[in-house]
Amino acid sequence: MAHSLIDGLEQANFQVMWQENGRDGIAYARDHHPHLIILDVRLPDQTGFDVCRQIRQLKLRQPILMLTARHEEADKVLGLEMGADDYVTKPFSLRELLSRIRALLRRAYGELATTGGNQLYAADLVIDLDKGLVWRGDSRIDLTPIELRLLAFLARHPGQALSRRQILDAVWGAPVDVDNERTVNVHIRRLREKVELEPSKPNLILTVPGVGYRLVP
Convert the pLDDT of each residue in 126-172 to its tens digit: 898 877 889 888 788 988 888 998 999 999 998 999 999 899 888 88
Count of CB atoms situated within 10 Å of the CB of 48: 22
pLDDT for 179 equals: 61
pLDDT score of 130: 75
What digits encode the pLDDT tens for the residues 91-134?
Answer: 888 888 988 898 888 777 664 454 445 788 888 888 988 778 89
Q: Which domains does the chain possess? A: 2-113 (3.40.50.2300), 119-215 (1.10.10.10)
Contact indicator for 154, 122 with CB cutoff of 8 Å: yes
φ, ψ of residue 65 to 5 degrees: the values are -110, 120
Instruction: Give the model's pLDDT for residue 209.
Output: 94
pLDDT digits (tens, 9 = 90+) for 49-103: 999 999 989 888 888 999 887 666 666 677 777 888 888 888 888 888 988 898 8
Percentages helix, strand, coil for the chain (3-state, rounded to 5) are: 45, 20, 35
Angstrom distance (rounded) from CA 75 to CA 117 = 39
Closest by Cα among 93, 80, 99 to 39: 80
From CA 129, how far away is CA 74, in angstroms rounded?
Answer: 44
Quick check: pTM over 0.75? no
DSSP 16-71: ----SSHHHHHHHHHHH--S-EEEESB-SSSBHHHHHHHHHHTT--S-EEEEES--
Poorest-pLDDT segment among 11-15, 35-39, 45-49: 11-15
> What pLDDT, on the 0 to 100 scale, is given for residue 4?
92
Q: Which amino acid type is present at position 208?
A: V
CA angle 157, 113, 14 (to 5 degrees): 60
**What is residue 115's predicted lDDT score, i.e. its pLDDT?**
45
CB contact at 8 A, 9 and 17: no
Residue 134: strand, helix, or coil: strand
Give tens-digit pLDDT for 170-214: 888 766 565 667 888 999 999 999 999 999 999 999 999 999 999
Q: What stretch of H or E contains 145?
A: helix 145-155
Pairing, β 125-128 against β 119-122: antiparallel
